[in-house]
């Protein structure tokens, strides 16, 4: 099998991170999540803390902006006044994602990877979702001090943040089925069932 990439996007509380970890173990592949921030920091010389602050989020000004598809692929030089802008941080992160796709088989969690790699061969783009009730229960199980209202608010805010981030940089809708090859309900399938479905789908998308 040739080199391939699996991108995983996920709703908050859908178990996407656990599914990604299990998939990586099952396939014997590395998966990249916050590791991308460290790599982008090393390449750019920009402190990792700044990448962390901008990770899958945009500010209120950008969220309210009418701008669409901010990402152009351009990386600004170190002497630019906007070198550490959130746009440039995203461009560095995108650069790392594209370089990984050129050099190894791996799984990339979030960070618009499905959009950034949509024109490449041997890429399987996955979206993990679940009914709200299931996501509420999952988040509540590891946030025992939160009230039901706080859990619901957390899910609502996180999903809105991810959707706004995705739309700001790509001009597209985060949940749009056209952006993915495979959409899986983690409540119906379970985490292991999702892993198996993804493994089965690989034969259709990877030569």
Higher per-residue pLDDT: 56 or 200: 200
Taking residues 160-175, what's their average pLDDT? 92
Distance (Å) of CA 9 to CA 15, 116, 128? 11, 13, 6
Strand partners, 174: none
What mean pLDDT, rounded, does the chain reach?
88
Q: What is the pLDDT of residues 68-126, one digit of tens each?
A: 667 777 887 788 877 877 788 888 889 999 999 999 999 999 999 999 999 999 999 99
Q: 3-state SS of 139-173?
A: HHHCCCCCCHHHHHHHHHHHHHHHHHHHHHHHCCC
Q: What is the pLDDT of residues 5-26, one digit of tens each?
A: 999 999 999 999 999 999 999 9
Q: What is the pTM of this model?
A: 0.88
Higher per-residue pLDDT: 119 or 43: 119
Strand partners, 108: 7, 32
| Whole-number Å distance between alpha carbons of 64 and 61 | 5
Question: How is residue 81 annotated by DSSP?
Answer: T
Give residue 158's pLDDT. 93
Strand partners, 129: 185
- Start-to-end C-alpha separation, the chain: 6
């Amino acid at each position: 099998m040739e080199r391939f990439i699996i991108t995983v996007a996920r709703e908050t509380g859908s178990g996407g991170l656990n599914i990604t970890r299990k998939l990586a173990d099952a396939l014997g592949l590395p998966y990249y999540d916050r590791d991308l921030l460290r790599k982008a920091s090393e390449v750019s010389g920009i402190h990792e803390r700044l990448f962390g602050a901008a990770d899958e989020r945009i500010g209120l000004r950008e969220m309210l902006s009418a701008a669409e598809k901010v990402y152009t692929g351009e990386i600004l030089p170190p002497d630019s006044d906007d070198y550490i802008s959130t746009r440039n941080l995203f461009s560095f992160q995108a650069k790392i994602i594209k370089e990984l796709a050129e050099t190894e088989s791996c799984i990339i969690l979030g960070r618009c990877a499905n959009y950034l790699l949509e024109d490449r061969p041997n890429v399987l783009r996955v979206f993990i979702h679940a009914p709200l009730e299931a996501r509420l229960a999952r988040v509540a199980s590891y946030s025992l001090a939160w009230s039901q209202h706080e859990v619901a608010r957390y899910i609502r805010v996180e999903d809105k943040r991810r959707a706004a981030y995705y739309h700001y940089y790509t001009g597209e809708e985060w949940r749009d089925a056209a952006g993915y090859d495979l959409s899986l309900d983690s409540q119906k399938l379970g985490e292991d069932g999702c892993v198996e479905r993804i493994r089965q789908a690989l034969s259709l998308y990877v030569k």
